[in-house]
Amino acid sequence: SSGDEALRDKRARILSRGLPKQKPIEGVKQVVVVASGKGGVGKSTTADILTITFLFLTQTKEVGLLDADIYGPSIPKMMNLKGNPELTPKNLMRPLKNYGIACMSMGFLIEETAPVVWRGLMVMSAVEKLLRQVDWGQLDYLVIDMPPGTGDVQLSVSQNIPIAGAVIVSTPQDVALLDARKGAEMFRKVHVPVLGLVQNMSVFQCPKCKHETHIFGADGVRDLAKTLGLDILGDIPLHVNIRETCDSGQPVVISQPQSDAAKAYLKIAMEIVRRLPVAPA
């Protein structure tokens, strides 16, 4: 019928437009996203600590951290930052800084206890502002802490800015691995290279008897990596010091740099930097 033909023509016109053209973030050379399919696997903790570790590894580089979790921003607390960003003469937000890291988060724009009760379009608008209306200066690396899942935010970020690579964080638990696999497959579909997987909370060592227990299972992320044809970037133990230091805003790589946990993050950061393509001059 004529109605069906009109619908087909409209669909063809929409498809012919293709995906939005990726536009780099001004002043940012390379973007690395840290993601997980499931919440509660330590993704934000990993993103926070790895960003600081990047700075330690590349002392001549400038590094930034963007908290893209609109509903549950956690970077302000982990980075021990409070306050509202100042505006430049061009009406761009200036990131807050600590430990030499430029940070931006929805947590700087709302009250700490205020819930974000927004629909999808408002969330997408907020993400766009965090990406495009921030004066990042000149950054060699911008790490984006993605929200859990494979929804609008992940798709929008992946399609609108060039991403050097994605890091998938998961615990060895089966229910977490199911969602981690979806996260990795999503990035592949939008042509974002997956640098590898991080196995978080891999083992717990009793502080008294030193007995090791695999609370969430053993080597589940390693098995998933083999299935997907990806590499394991490293293992992070389940340790109370990691939680305590992040809650206090003094991540373990700063407060306890010689600890086993800090060394585990350092190893992973080295692997990520090694796998990144050469940044543009």
CA distances to 51, 86, 99, 171 from 238, rounded to whole Å, are 20, 38, 24, 10
How far is the C-alpha of 264 from the C-alpha of 253, rounded, in Å?
10
- Domain of residue 197 covers 25-275
Could you report the per-residue pLDDT of 207-258, keeping only the tens digit for each?
788 888 988 888 899 999 999 999 999 999 998 889 999 999 999 999 999 9
CA distances to 96, 129, 158 from 274, rounded to whole Å, are 28, 31, 22
How far is the C-alpha of 62 from the C-alpha of 46, rounded, in Å?
19
Give which of 216, 228, 234 is closest to 183, Cα–Cα.
228
**Per-residue pLDDT in tens (0 to 9) along the chain, 281 residues:** 666 777 777 766 655 555 557 899 999 999 999 999 888 899 999 999 999 999 888 777 899 999 999 888 999 999 999 999 999 999 999 999 999 999 999 999 888 777 787 777 888 888 889 999 999 999 999 999 999 888 888 888 988 899 999 999 999 999 999 999 999 999 998 899 999 999 999 988 887 888 889 888 888 999 999 999 999 999 999 988 899 999 999 999 999 999 989 999 999 999 999 999 876 66
Helices assigned H by DSSP within the chain: 2-16, 43-57, 75-78, 120-132, 152-160, 174-189, 220-228, 240-247, 252-255, 260-275
Q: Is residue 47 part of a domain?
A: yes
- Cβ(133)–Cβ(93) under 8 Å? yes
Q: Is residue 281 part of a domain?
A: no
Q: Is residue 246 part of a domain?
A: yes
CATH number at residue 106: 3.40.50.300
Q: Is residue 8 part of a domain?
A: no
* Domain total of the chain: 1
Q: Is residue 4 part of a domain?
A: no
